[in-house]
Amino acid sequence: MIDLDINIDGAYDIRSVRGGDVNEAFKVYTDKGPRFLLIQRGGDNNFFQAEIKGLKLFEKNGVNAPRVLDSGVSKEGAYLILDYIEEGRWQDQKDLARELKKVHKIESPNGKFGFEFAYRGSSISFSNAFKDNWREVFLEERLDKLKDKLVEGGIWSREDLATYEKIREVIDTYLRRRESAPVLLHGDLWPGNAMFSVDGDPYLFDPAPLYGDWEFDIGVSTVFSGFDDDFYRTYLQDIKKDPERAIRLEFYRLYLLMVHLHKFGNMYRSSVDLSMEKILSKSMDK
């Protein structure tokens, strides 16, 4: 049994499990059933605040997600204890799209874009300060901050910066004419943060929540393979077609690729360059 300085009622065994690249993850066996434990080494009491709030909003609004059972700080760092959902085989992804629809029906309580808690990642953080429009949150608080990190880290040259400024003008133009409503976003929607239980129920977890444009989640979800055509058809079936949607979705693909370029280095360089080329070429077609 792994020895941790965390009091979990009825625990009799703890095993390390796969849980992403940000936190250490453990399956805790208790006399009341298994629990899922996340630990951020050196993390403070604020580290999991946004995720906890997001999961509680999911629960309140009937979205299938692990329940928050406890959180705090120990000598190991910040920790979060959740229900353990036994993973099964992936089922009909139309059901998964319907769960995401539930998330996007949750409206910002103050009508603004952002979130009450900051985004805290292993390599970069964003303030999530509330703004009156989506463009400010996405472009100024996300992409511009990423650009600064890439330049400071020596990953981007002056030439790259000049290309980014052209891209920025395009994004600014398109988002200014997009009428966005602030709804709750998962914020990190890739197949590794979705699953089906052994009972075949779809689940969403590990959110990085903020109130923003629903297209953000859809764009981010396309970066890594895993969501199928049924997922997207079901999500979009009642949404009016928009000829500019394709280029806007590429903005959000670029965002996630820039996050990975900052975090993992030049292995994502070609993907970022290709995304920027697509944005410039699509904008010239308009």
Q: What percent of the chain has pLDDT over 70?
A: 98
> Per the residue annotation, which of 44, 160, 172, 188 is the catalytic one?
188
Separation in Å, CA 44 to CA 22, 52, 76, 115, 208 = 14, 14, 10, 19, 17
Whether 1 shows a pLDDT value over 60: the answer reads: no
Provide the pLDDT confidence category of residue 20 given band limits of 50, 70 and 90: low
Distance, CA of 272 to CA of 280 (rounded, Å): 13
Using a CB cutoff of 8 Å and minimum separation of 24, what contacts does 161-166 make?
163/276, 164/276, 166/280
**pLDDT mean across residues, the chain:** 95
Distance, CA of 196 to CA of 6 (rounded, Å): 29
Q: What is the pLDDT of residue 94?
A: 98
Read off the pLDDT of residues 208-252 as tens digits, 9 standing for 90 and up: 999 999 999 999 999 999 999 999 999 999 999 999 999 999 999
Please say if 188 is a catalytic residue: yes
Range of weakest confidence among 10-14, 45-49, 216-220, 282-286 = 282-286
Q: What is the pLDDT of residue 2?
A: 67
Q: What is the pLDDT of residue 220?
A: 98
Range of weakest confidence among 19-23, 142-146, 163-167, 189-193 = 19-23
CATH 3.30.200.20 occupies which residues in the chain?
11-83
The tokens describing 53, both together, are 């709030």
Whether 161 shows a pLDDT value over 60: the answer reads: yes
Whether 286 shows a pLDDT value over 70: the answer reads: no
Give domain 11-83's CATH superfamily.
Phosphorylase Kinase; domain 1 (3.30.200.20)
Q: What is the pLDDT of residue 122?
A: 72
DSSP label at residue 14: E
CATH 3.90.1200.10 occupies which residues in the chain?
93-285
Q: What is the pLDDT of residue 244?
A: 97
Provide the pLDDT confidence category of residue 119 given band limits of 50, 70 and 90: very high
The tokens describing 150, both together, are 């890439």
Read off the pLDDT of residues 120-149 as tens digits, 9 standing for 90 and up: 887 789 999 999 999 999 999 999 999 999
Whether 21 shows a pLDDT value over 80: the answer reads: no
Q: What is the pLDDT of residue 48?
A: 95
**Do the beta carbons of residue 123 and residue 268 sit within 8 Å?**
no
Whether 27 shows a pLDDT value over 60: the answer reads: yes
CATH of segment(s) 93-285: 3.90.1200.10
Q: What is the pTM of this model?
A: 0.95
